[in-house]
Homo-oligomer: A and B are copies of this chain.
Amino acid sequence: MPQPESDNRRNSVDPGRSTLSAPDPLALVDLEGHLGFHLRLAQDASFRAFAGRAGVVDLRPGRYAAMVVIRNNPGITPIALSRAIVRDKSTVTPLVQDLERRNLVRRDRSTADRRSVHLTLTEEGEATLDALMEHADAHDRWLDAIVGDEKPQLLRLLRRIADALP
């Protein structure tokens, strides 16, 4: 009686990964050819790979980008930072608060304009970023290796997409 018709789709099990893995044949049929879908997958994979690599340091790409910008632009304000990393300013507030809580970033109220804040890396922040940067560099080399000599084209296309927002 219990006809196992419920296991309809072949390929039901992926005993390997508990959660996410490559898309099913199902998706490949349906969503293949949709650039947006693959953009998401690639972005996700990159993010995940970075996070996994950072490991001990436990700072994801968002924090990394912020710290790099702060290092290279000491005294930068949150607003300018938000534009640099292309995140909403309301996203940056908790981000820098977290970095401050971790003693990686200092926030100094400006004397010239009492609304604004200047961000700089603490010494611990510099050291941490040094460590993190090794992982980030490895990550970049990994990505670069994957795309090989087509990187310039890829970058060009991605930039074109990002700039074309209607």
Interface residues of chain A, those whose CB is within 8 Å of chain B, are: 2-6, 8-9, 12, 14, 16, 19-24, 26-27, 29-31, 33-50, 52-53, 61, 65, 68-69, 72-73, 75-77, 80, 83-89, 110, 112-113, 116, 139-140, 142-144, 146-147, 150-151, 153-155, 157-166
Contact = CB atoms under 8 A, between A and B. Distances in A.
- Interface secondary structure of A, over-half rule: helix
A73 to B, nearest CB: 6
Copies in the complex: 2
A153 B151 contact: no
A83 B27 contact: yes
B150 A153 contact: yes
Contact of A31 (B2, B14, B84): B84
